[in-house]
Protein backbone atom coordinates (compact mmCIF):
# COMPACT_ATOMS: atom_id res chain seq x y z
CA UNK A 1 0.00 0.00 0.00
CA UNK A 2 0.97 3.61 -0.37
CA UNK A 3 2.13 5.56 2.69
CA UNK A 4 -1.11 7.57 2.64
CA UNK A 5 -3.34 4.50 2.67
CA UNK A 6 -1.29 3.13 5.54
CA UNK A 7 -1.74 6.24 7.55
CA UNK A 8 -5.48 6.39 6.82
CA UNK A 9 -6.02 2.84 7.97
CA UNK A 10 -4.02 3.35 11.14
CA UNK A 11 -6.05 6.45 12.00
CA UNK A 12 -9.38 4.73 11.58
CA UNK A 13 -8.26 1.70 13.52
CA UNK A 14 -7.10 3.84 16.40
CA UNK A 15 -10.48 5.52 16.69
CA UNK A 16 -12.64 2.43 16.35
CA UNK A 17 -10.50 -0.26 17.82
CA UNK A 18 -7.95 1.47 19.95
CA UNK A 19 -8.61 -0.88 22.87
CA UNK A 20 -6.25 -3.37 21.32
CA UNK A 21 -3.90 -1.16 19.38
CA UNK A 22 -2.94 1.04 22.30
CA UNK A 23 0.77 1.74 22.49
CA UNK A 24 2.58 2.80 25.61
CA UNK A 25 2.91 6.45 24.76
CA UNK A 26 5.69 8.83 25.35
CA UNK A 27 3.97 11.05 27.87
CA UNK A 28 5.63 13.31 30.38
CA UNK A 29 5.77 11.68 33.78
CA UNK A 30 4.90 14.71 35.81
CA UNK A 31 1.49 15.58 37.28
CA UNK A 32 1.93 19.22 36.26
CA UNK A 33 1.51 18.22 32.61
CA UNK A 34 -2.02 17.07 33.21
CA UNK A 35 -5.00 19.35 33.37
CA UNK A 36 -7.72 18.04 35.67
CA UNK A 37 -11.08 17.93 33.90
CA UNK A 38 -13.39 16.13 36.30
CA UNK A 39 -13.68 13.46 38.98
CA UNK A 40 -14.46 10.01 37.58
CA UNK A 41 -14.63 8.01 40.79
CA UNK A 42 -13.53 7.80 44.39
CA UNK A 43 -11.97 4.93 46.31
CA UNK A 44 -10.81 4.63 49.89
CA UNK A 45 -7.24 5.78 49.38
CA UNK A 46 -7.67 8.01 46.38
CA UNK A 47 -9.63 9.19 43.40
CA UNK A 48 -9.66 8.79 39.65
CA UNK A 49 -9.74 11.97 37.54
CA UNK A 50 -10.28 12.58 33.89
CA UNK A 51 -7.19 14.52 32.88
CA UNK A 52 -5.74 15.91 29.70
CA UNK A 53 -2.10 15.96 28.75
CA UNK A 54 -1.50 19.65 28.02
CA UNK A 55 1.05 18.86 25.31
CA UNK A 56 -0.58 16.03 23.40
CA UNK A 57 -4.24 16.86 24.33
CA UNK A 58 -4.83 13.16 24.93
CA UNK A 59 -7.27 12.23 27.70
CA UNK A 60 -6.34 9.82 30.48
CA UNK A 61 -7.84 8.47 33.67
CA UNK A 62 -5.40 9.47 36.41
CA UNK A 63 -5.68 7.44 39.59
CA UNK A 64 -4.32 9.52 42.47
CA UNK A 65 -3.50 7.63 45.66
CA UNK A 66 -2.67 9.34 48.94
CA UNK A 67 0.44 7.85 50.53
CA UNK A 68 -0.80 8.90 53.96
CA UNK A 69 -4.12 7.06 53.46
CA UNK A 70 -2.29 4.01 52.10
CA UNK A 71 -0.18 3.83 55.25
CA UNK A 72 -3.16 4.51 57.53
CA UNK A 73 -5.23 1.79 55.88
CA UNK A 74 -2.39 -0.67 55.51
CA UNK A 75 -2.73 -0.71 51.72
CA UNK A 76 0.85 -0.28 50.59
CA UNK A 77 1.33 -3.88 49.54
CA UNK A 78 -2.01 -4.02 47.76
CA UNK A 79 -1.30 -0.88 45.80
CA UNK A 80 2.08 -2.35 44.84
CA UNK A 81 0.39 -5.54 43.67
CA UNK A 82 -2.13 -3.53 41.66
CA UNK A 83 0.66 -1.56 40.04
CA UNK A 84 2.63 -4.74 39.29
CA UNK A 85 -0.40 -6.37 37.68
CA UNK A 86 -1.31 -3.32 35.63
CA UNK A 87 2.22 -2.85 34.35
CA UNK A 88 2.54 -6.54 33.47
CA UNK A 89 -0.84 -6.88 31.78
CA UNK A 90 -1.04 -6.23 28.06
CA UNK A 91 -4.41 -7.40 26.91
CA UNK A 92 -7.17 -5.84 24.79
CA UNK A 93 -9.72 -6.19 27.60
CA UNK A 94 -7.55 -5.01 30.49
CA UNK A 95 -7.16 -1.27 31.05
CA UNK A 96 -3.64 -0.20 30.00
CA UNK A 97 -1.40 1.58 32.49
CA UNK A 98 0.75 4.04 30.56
CA UNK A 99 2.82 5.36 33.40
CA UNK A 100 3.07 5.51 37.14
CA UNK A 101 4.86 8.27 38.98
CA UNK A 102 4.85 9.90 42.38
CA UNK A 103 5.13 13.13 44.27
CA UNK A 104 6.00 13.51 47.94
CA UNK A 105 2.43 12.80 49.03
CA UNK A 106 0.80 10.91 46.16
CA UNK A 107 1.16 7.99 43.77
CA UNK A 108 -0.22 8.48 40.26
CA UNK A 109 -1.38 5.78 37.83
CA UNK A 110 -1.98 7.11 34.35
CA UNK A 111 -4.57 4.79 32.76
CA UNK A 112 -6.44 4.58 29.47
CA UNK A 113 -9.61 6.65 29.74
CA UNK A 114 -12.69 4.50 29.12
CA UNK A 115 -15.25 6.99 27.90
CA UNK A 116 -18.22 4.64 28.38
CA UNK A 117 -17.61 4.53 32.13
CA UNK A 118 -18.85 1.68 34.28
CA UNK A 119 -20.59 -1.21 32.58
CA UNK A 120 -22.76 -1.23 35.71
CA UNK A 121 -24.11 2.23 34.90
CA UNK A 122 -24.81 1.30 31.29
CA UNK A 123 -26.68 -1.79 32.49
CA UNK A 124 -28.75 0.35 34.88
CA UNK A 125 -29.86 2.52 31.97
CA UNK A 126 -31.20 -0.44 30.01
CA UNK A 127 -34.95 -1.10 30.25
CA UNK A 128 -35.29 -3.68 33.03
CA UNK A 129 -31.52 -3.43 33.53
CA UNK A 130 -31.14 -6.40 31.22
CA UNK A 131 -29.33 -7.35 28.06
CA UNK A 132 -30.42 -9.67 25.29
CA UNK A 133 -28.77 -13.04 25.53
CA UNK A 134 -26.51 -12.46 22.50
CA UNK A 135 -25.32 -9.17 24.02
CA UNK A 136 -24.64 -10.81 27.39
CA UNK A 137 -22.75 -13.55 25.54
CA UNK A 138 -20.50 -10.99 23.88
CA UNK A 139 -19.53 -9.27 27.14
CA UNK A 140 -19.20 -12.58 28.98
CA UNK A 141 -16.86 -13.80 26.23
CA UNK A 142 -14.66 -10.72 26.58
CA UNK A 143 -14.52 -11.27 30.34
CA UNK A 144 -13.59 -14.93 29.74
CA UNK A 145 -10.72 -13.79 27.49
CA UNK A 146 -9.44 -11.30 30.08
CA UNK A 147 -9.73 -13.79 32.97
CA UNK A 148 -8.01 -16.47 30.91
CA UNK A 149 -5.10 -14.09 30.34
CA UNK A 150 -4.86 -13.24 34.05
CA UNK A 151 -5.08 -16.90 35.11
CA UNK A 152 -2.38 -17.90 32.62
CA UNK A 153 -0.17 -15.30 34.29
CA UNK A 154 -0.89 -16.72 37.74
CA UNK A 155 -3.32 -14.00 38.76
CA UNK A 156 -6.79 -14.22 40.23
CA UNK A 157 -9.02 -11.21 39.59
CA UNK A 158 -11.34 -11.94 42.53
CA UNK A 159 -13.46 -8.85 42.18
CA UNK A 160 -15.50 -9.24 39.02
CA UNK A 161 -18.73 -7.23 38.98
CA UNK A 162 -20.30 -4.71 36.62
CA UNK A 163 -18.76 -1.80 38.58
CA UNK A 164 -15.25 -3.01 37.72
CA UNK A 165 -15.89 -3.43 34.04
CA UNK A 166 -15.35 -0.26 32.03
CA UNK A 167 -16.61 0.46 28.54
CA UNK A 168 -14.00 1.66 26.11
CA UNK A 169 -14.78 4.07 23.30
CA UNK A 170 -14.57 1.11 20.94
CA UNK A 171 -17.53 -0.49 22.78
CA UNK A 172 -15.31 -3.31 24.05
CA UNK A 173 -14.90 -3.87 27.77
CA UNK A 174 -11.86 -3.25 29.92
CA UNK A 175 -11.31 -4.76 33.34
CA UNK A 176 -10.05 -2.24 35.86
CA UNK A 177 -9.50 -2.03 39.60
CA UNK A 178 -6.93 -4.64 40.43
CA UNK A 179 -6.54 -3.77 44.08
CA UNK A 180 -8.20 -6.98 45.23
CA UNK A 181 -6.40 -9.23 42.78
CA UNK A 182 -3.93 -11.79 44.03
CA UNK A 183 -1.17 -13.89 42.63
CA UNK A 184 -2.24 -17.49 42.64
CA UNK A 185 -0.55 -19.55 45.38
CA UNK A 186 0.13 -22.34 42.86
CA UNK A 187 1.83 -20.28 40.18
CA UNK A 188 2.44 -16.89 41.73
CA UNK A 189 4.52 -15.60 44.56
CA UNK A 190 3.35 -17.19 47.84
CA UNK A 191 4.87 -14.42 49.95
CA UNK A 192 2.53 -11.87 48.48
CA UNK A 193 -0.51 -14.05 49.00
CA UNK A 194 0.44 -14.78 52.60
CA UNK A 195 1.01 -11.16 53.46
CA UNK A 196 -2.30 -10.17 51.89
CA UNK A 197 -4.57 -13.01 52.89
CA UNK A 198 -5.88 -11.69 56.23
CA UNK A 199 -7.24 -8.67 54.40
CA UNK A 200 -8.21 -10.35 51.19
CA UNK A 201 -10.30 -13.04 52.70
CA UNK A 202 -12.28 -10.94 55.10
CA UNK A 203 -15.29 -9.04 53.77
CA UNK A 204 -14.15 -5.61 54.87
CA UNK A 205 -11.81 -4.75 51.99
CA UNK A 206 -14.48 -5.80 49.53
CA UNK A 207 -16.75 -3.20 51.01
CA UNK A 208 -14.51 -0.24 51.51
CA UNK A 209 -12.94 -0.27 48.06
CA UNK A 210 -16.21 0.47 46.29
CA UNK A 211 -16.24 3.50 44.12
CA UNK A 212 -18.40 6.23 45.61
CA UNK A 213 -19.75 7.09 42.20
CA UNK A 214 -22.36 4.38 41.94
CA UNK A 215 -25.65 3.51 43.52
CA UNK A 216 -24.31 0.44 45.27
CA UNK A 217 -21.78 2.36 47.32
CA UNK A 218 -23.76 2.39 50.51
CA UNK A 219 -25.55 -0.83 49.91
CA UNK A 220 -23.95 -3.33 52.24
CA UNK A 221 -25.76 -6.24 50.63
CA UNK A 222 -25.09 -5.18 47.05
CA UNK A 223 -21.37 -5.64 47.21
CA UNK A 224 -21.61 -9.15 48.66
CA UNK A 225 -23.75 -10.65 45.95
CA UNK A 226 -20.79 -11.72 43.82
CA UNK A 227 -18.89 -13.57 46.58
CA UNK A 228 -18.16 -17.23 45.90
CA UNK A 229 -19.09 -19.77 48.63
CA UNK A 230 -15.43 -20.65 49.24
CA UNK A 231 -14.57 -16.95 49.70
CA UNK A 232 -17.29 -16.62 52.35
CA UNK A 233 -15.87 -19.72 54.03
CA UNK A 234 -12.40 -18.18 53.95
CA UNK A 235 -10.87 -20.68 51.49
CA UNK A 236 -11.00 -18.54 48.38
CA UNK A 237 -7.55 -19.22 47.02
CA UNK A 238 -8.13 -20.52 43.54
CA UNK A 239 -8.92 -19.02 40.16
CA UNK A 240 -12.29 -20.84 40.32
CA UNK A 241 -13.66 -17.85 42.27
CA UNK A 242 -13.44 -15.85 39.04
CA UNK A 243 -15.60 -18.40 37.19
CA UNK A 244 -18.21 -18.20 39.96
CA UNK A 245 -18.32 -14.41 39.70
CA UNK A 246 -18.64 -14.68 35.92
CA UNK A 247 -21.72 -16.88 36.51
CA UNK A 248 -23.24 -14.18 38.75
CA UNK A 249 -22.41 -11.51 36.15
CA UNK A 250 -24.02 -13.49 33.33
CA UNK A 251 -27.13 -14.07 35.44
CA UNK A 252 -27.34 -10.36 36.34
CA UNK A 253 -26.92 -9.29 32.70
CA UNK A 254 -29.83 -11.53 31.68
CA UNK A 255 -32.20 -11.11 34.63
CA UNK A 256 -31.37 -7.62 35.93
CA UNK A 257 -30.71 -8.94 39.44
CA UNK A 258 -28.27 -11.35 41.04
CA UNK A 259 -29.41 -14.86 42.02
CA UNK A 260 -28.61 -14.93 45.74
CA UNK A 261 -29.42 -11.42 46.95
CA UNK A 262 -30.89 -11.54 50.43
CA UNK A 263 -32.63 -8.97 52.60
CA UNK A 264 -29.49 -8.44 54.66
CA UNK A 265 -25.84 -9.48 54.75
CA UNK A 266 -26.35 -12.77 56.58
CA UNK A 267 -29.32 -13.68 54.43
CA UNK A 268 -27.18 -13.14 51.31
CA UNK A 269 -24.38 -15.27 52.78
CA UNK A 270 -26.88 -18.03 53.60
CA UNK A 271 -28.35 -17.95 50.14
CA UNK A 272 -24.93 -18.11 48.46
CA UNK A 273 -23.99 -21.09 50.61
CA UNK A 274 -27.25 -23.06 50.45
CA UNK A 275 -29.93 -21.71 48.10
CA UNK A 276 -30.59 -23.66 44.93
CA UNK A 277 -30.13 -21.63 41.76
CA UNK A 278 -33.44 -20.50 40.30
CA UNK A 279 -34.26 -19.36 36.77
CA UNK A 280 -37.56 -17.50 37.19
CA UNK A 281 -39.85 -18.12 34.25
CA UNK A 282 -42.09 -15.08 34.29
CA UNK A 283 -40.72 -13.06 37.14
CA UNK A 284 -41.44 -9.57 38.34
CA UNK A 285 -39.32 -8.10 35.56
CA UNK A 286 -41.69 -7.02 32.76
CA UNK A 287 -38.82 -6.77 30.28
CA UNK A 288 -37.84 -10.36 30.72
CA UNK A 289 -39.93 -13.34 29.90
CA UNK A 290 -38.59 -16.80 30.66
CA UNK A 291 -38.46 -18.34 27.18
CA UNK A 292 -35.87 -15.77 26.07
CA UNK A 293 -33.17 -17.56 28.02
CA UNK A 294 -31.92 -20.59 26.15
CA UNK A 295 -31.07 -23.92 27.70
CA UNK A 296 -27.42 -23.39 26.74
CA UNK A 297 -27.36 -20.17 28.74
CA UNK A 298 -29.00 -21.81 31.76
CA UNK A 299 -26.59 -24.70 31.46
CA UNK A 300 -23.44 -22.56 31.55
CA UNK A 301 -24.75 -20.42 34.43
CA UNK A 302 -25.62 -23.59 36.37
CA UNK A 303 -22.14 -25.00 35.78
CA UNK A 304 -20.40 -21.74 36.75
CA UNK A 305 -22.51 -21.39 39.89
CA UNK A 306 -21.67 -24.85 41.20
CA UNK A 307 -21.15 -24.27 44.92
CA UNK A 308 -18.51 -27.00 44.93
CA UNK A 309 -15.50 -25.34 43.35
CA UNK A 310 -14.01 -28.71 42.43
CA UNK A 311 -16.99 -29.42 40.19
CA UNK A 312 -17.31 -25.87 38.80
CA UNK A 313 -16.84 -25.22 35.09
CA UNK A 314 -13.34 -23.85 34.51
CA UNK A 315 -11.74 -25.41 37.58
CA UNK A 316 -10.09 -28.37 35.87
CA UNK A 317 -8.98 -27.05 32.49
CA UNK A 318 -9.47 -23.29 32.86
CA UNK A 319 -11.09 -21.02 30.30
CA UNK A 320 -11.05 -23.67 27.55
CA UNK A 321 -13.85 -25.49 29.40
CA UNK A 322 -16.00 -22.36 29.07
CA UNK A 323 -15.00 -21.60 25.50
CA UNK A 324 -16.06 -25.03 24.34
CA UNK A 325 -19.47 -24.84 26.04
CA UNK A 326 -22.42 -24.65 23.60
CA UNK A 327 -23.39 -21.20 24.94
CA UNK A 328 -20.24 -19.71 23.39
CA UNK A 329 -20.61 -21.55 20.07
CA UNK A 330 -21.45 -18.31 18.17
CA UNK A 331 -18.26 -16.68 19.50
CA UNK A 332 -14.96 -16.89 17.68
CA UNK A 333 -12.62 -16.10 20.56
CA UNK A 334 -9.65 -15.42 18.29
CA UNK A 335 -11.63 -12.70 16.48
CA UNK A 336 -13.47 -11.30 19.51
CA UNK A 337 -11.54 -8.05 19.49
CA UNK A 338 -12.61 -7.45 15.90
CA UNK A 339 -16.29 -8.19 16.49
CA UNK A 340 -18.72 -5.29 16.56
CA UNK A 341 -19.77 -4.74 20.18
CA UNK A 342 -23.43 -4.26 21.17
CA UNK A 343 -24.58 -0.66 21.46
CA UNK A 344 -25.21 0.46 25.05
CA UNK A 345 -27.30 1.57 26.79
N1 LIG B 1 -13.10 5.24 36.38
C2 LIG B 1 -12.08 4.59 36.93
N3 LIG B 1 -11.14 4.31 36.03
C4 LIG B 1 -11.58 4.80 34.85
C5 LIG B 1 -11.07 4.80 33.53
N6 LIG B 1 -9.89 4.25 33.24
N7 LIG B 1 -11.81 5.37 32.57
C8 LIG B 1 -13.01 5.89 32.86
N9 LIG B 1 -13.55 5.92 34.07
C10 LIG B 1 -12.83 5.38 35.07
Sheet strand arrangement including 117-118? 117-118, 165-167, 173-175
Question: What pLDDT shows up at residue 289?
Answer: 54
215-230 mean pLDDT? 61
Query: Above 50 in pLDDT, residue 13?
Result: no
Question: What pLDDT shows up at residue 230?
Answer: 93
The pLDDT tens digits of the residues spanning 306-319 come to: 999 999 999 999 99
3-state secondary structure of 40: strand
Angle of helix 133-152 relative to helix 240-255, nearest 10 degrees, comes to 170
More confident residue, 191 or 132: 132
263 Cα distance to chain centroid: 25
State in Å: Cα 120 to ligand 1 middle.
Answer: 13
Query: Above 60 in pLDDT, residue 6?
Result: no
State in Å: Cα 61 to ligand 1 middle.
Answer: 5
134-146 mean pLDDT? 97
CB under 8 Å to 328, separation ≥6 — which residues? 137, 140, 141, 144, 300, 322
Query: Above 90 in pLDDT, residue 269?
Result: yes
Query: For ligand 1, is residue 239 a contact (CB within 6 Å)?
Result: no
Question: What pLDDT shows up at residue 127?
Answer: 85
Which DSSP string do the residues of 253-276 spell out, in sequence order?
Answer: HHHSS-TT--SSHHHHHHHHHHPP
| Residue 160, H or E segment | none
Query: For ligand 1, is residue 268 a contact (CB within 6 Å)?
Result: no
Question: What pLDDT shows up at residue 178?
Answer: 82
Question: What pLDDT shows up at residue 282?
Answer: 60
Question: What pLDDT shows up at residue 281?
Answer: 76
> Which one of the listed residues 44, 105, 159, 267 is annotated catalytic?
159
State in Å: Cα 186 to ligand 1 middle.
Answer: 31
Query: For ligand 1, is residue 297 a contact (CB within 6 Å)?
Result: no
Query: Above 60 in pLDDT, residue 186?
Result: no
Query: For ligand 1, is residue 111 a contact (CB within 6 Å)?
Result: yes
CA distances from 66 to 47, 77, 162, 219 (A): 9, 14, 26, 25
Query: Above 90 in pLDDT, residue 14?
Result: no
Nearest atom within ligand 1 for CA of residue 40? 1
Supply the ipTM of this predicted assembly.
0.96
Question: What pLDDT shows up at residue 213?
Answer: 32
Nearest atom within ligand 1 for CA of residue 95? 6
Residue nearest to atom 9 of ligand 1 (CA): 117
State in Å: Cα 237 to ligand 1 middle.
Answer: 28
Query: For ligand 1, is residue 109 a contact (CB within 6 Å)?
Result: no
The mean pLDDT value of the chain amounts to 80
Question: What pLDDT shows up at residue 241?
Answer: 94
Question: What pLDDT shows up at residue 237?
Answer: 74
Question: What pLDDT shows up at residue 8?
Answer: 26
Query: Above 50 in pLDDT, residue 339?
Result: yes
Query: Above 80 in pLDDT, residue 212?
Result: no
Query: For ligand 1, is residue 48 a contact (CB within 6 Å)?
Result: yes
Best of 164, 166, 168 to mutate for ligand 1, by most ligand atoms within 8 A of CB? 166
Q: What percent of the chain has pLDDT over 70?
A: 77
- Minimal CA–CA distance to 229: which of 211, 253, 247? 247
State in Å: Cα 119 to ligand 1 middle.
Answer: 11
Please say if 270 is a catalytic residue: no
Question: What pLDDT shows up at residue 117?
Answer: 93
98-115 mean pLDDT? 93
3-state secondary structure of 59: strand
Best of 34, 39, 111, 179 to mutate for ligand 1, by most ligand atoms within 8 A of CB? 111
Query: Above 80 in pLDDT, residue 278?
Result: yes
Nearest atom within ligand 1 for CA of residue 174? 6
Query: Above 50 in pLDDT, residue 188?
Result: no
Query: Above 90 in pLDDT, residue 327?
Result: yes
Query: For ligand 1, is residue 40 a contact (CB within 6 Å)?
Result: yes
State in Å: Cα 82 to ligand 1 middle.
Answer: 15
Amino acid sequence: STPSSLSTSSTSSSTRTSSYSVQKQDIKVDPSHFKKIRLLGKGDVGSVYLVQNEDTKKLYALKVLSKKEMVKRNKIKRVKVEQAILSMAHHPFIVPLYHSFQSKDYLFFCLEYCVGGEFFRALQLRPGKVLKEHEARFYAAEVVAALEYLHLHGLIYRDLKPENILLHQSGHIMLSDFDLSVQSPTTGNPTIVRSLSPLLFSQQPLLDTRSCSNVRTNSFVGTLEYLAPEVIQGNGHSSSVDWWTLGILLYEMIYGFTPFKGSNQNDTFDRIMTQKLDFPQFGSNPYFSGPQITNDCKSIIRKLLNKDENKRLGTRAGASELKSHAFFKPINFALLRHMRPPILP
